[in-house]
Amino acid sequence: MAWGRATPGRGAGECSLDPHGPRGVLSYILTDFDKYSLVWYAHGMKFTPIQIATKEYVARNIDPTNAAQMAKVHKLRNDIFVKKLAWVPGHYEDFERDEYDAYSIFFGVFKGEELLATARMTPSTGLFMIERALAYTMEGAKPIQKGEDTVELSRLGCSPSIIDRTVRTKVSMALYKLLYEWSRENGIRYWYLVSTEAYLGAIRKKLGIPVAQIGKTFATEQGEEYYAAVIDLRAAERALGVFKLLLFRSFLRPKRMTIR
């Protein structure tokens, strides 16, 4: 199997928030080390899953061995990428899944039992979509550098049922925060992805985060431009500056952060 836990775990270890710790704001300090499974493996990559809980939402890693949780992921992806965006063909039972799921890492934002947003990261030990299904987007680009600090970000989206823009922004930011904090905790620096200019341009303009295009620009049948890109999280931190970064990391004012 591509996935497995290092030790059988029974729950989540509470962590205190130490503003003076080695990682700065929201440092993780375990309080119950011997009781919990702290390490997951994905295709040879060892990582620490995290959870961020607020009054409204819980943003966390999703255990891919949990069939019920993964069914929610595949159903939401079908609603987003098949029914709404028509980016990928449909599958039976209204589930969207592919070969990269077998060795990827999953994230979700929940309100109660409802999954509101999801994303996937593929570790560098596995094959990226831009190396196979989307390899054409790398035409004319230099080969990607796949180190231990590199992942591919894909299948990121919010539920189409969220109509209220304020709610959608909160859910989206909770997902971005989860992806960033998880990357920071696990030594990830580079995110490779393929997305539209509308989305990547918004990241540049609204968040001020540099997004470097790699390869050529293509267009969907609807005329929407898209391309492969890479985000350097260290460059993003520098671009945001200390104050904006602190605001982003304290977004939603988490009442607790745990290592699951």
Residue 43's CATH number: 3.40.630.30
- Whether 259 is covered by a domain: the verdict is no
Query: Count of domains in the chain?
Result: 1
Distance CA 148, CA 45 (A): 8
User: Would you say residue 247 lies in a domain?
Assistant: yes
Question: Residue 251 has what pLDDT?
Answer: 60
Expressed as residue numbers, the domain containing 108 is 3-252
67 found inside a domain: yes
What are the start-end ranges of the H helices in the chain? 67-77, 165-185, 197-207, 233-249
DSSP state, residue 24: B
Q: Is position 260 within any domain?
A: no
Residue 234 lies in a domain: yes
pLDDT for position 243: 66
Q: Among 57-71, 89-103, 238-252, which is the least confidently predicted range?
A: 238-252
Residues 6 or more apart whose Cβ sits within 8 Å of residue 137: 130, 194, 215, 216, 218, 226, 227, 228
- Whether 258 maps to a domain, the answer reads no
Pairing of strands 225-232, 256-259: unpaired
**Residue type for position 1:** M
**Mean local confidence (pLDDT), 29-44:** 50
Q: What is the mean pLDDT of the chain?
A: 79
20 assigned to some structural domain: yes
User: What per-residue confidence (pLDDT) applies to 159?
Assistant: 94
Q: Give the pLDDT confidence score for residue 218 in this predicted structure.
A: 93
Q: Considering the domain boundaries, does residue 32 fall inside one?
A: yes
Phi, psi for 168 (deg, rounded to 5): -60, -40
Instruction: Please state whether the predicted TM-score (pTM) of the whole model is above 0.85.
Output: no
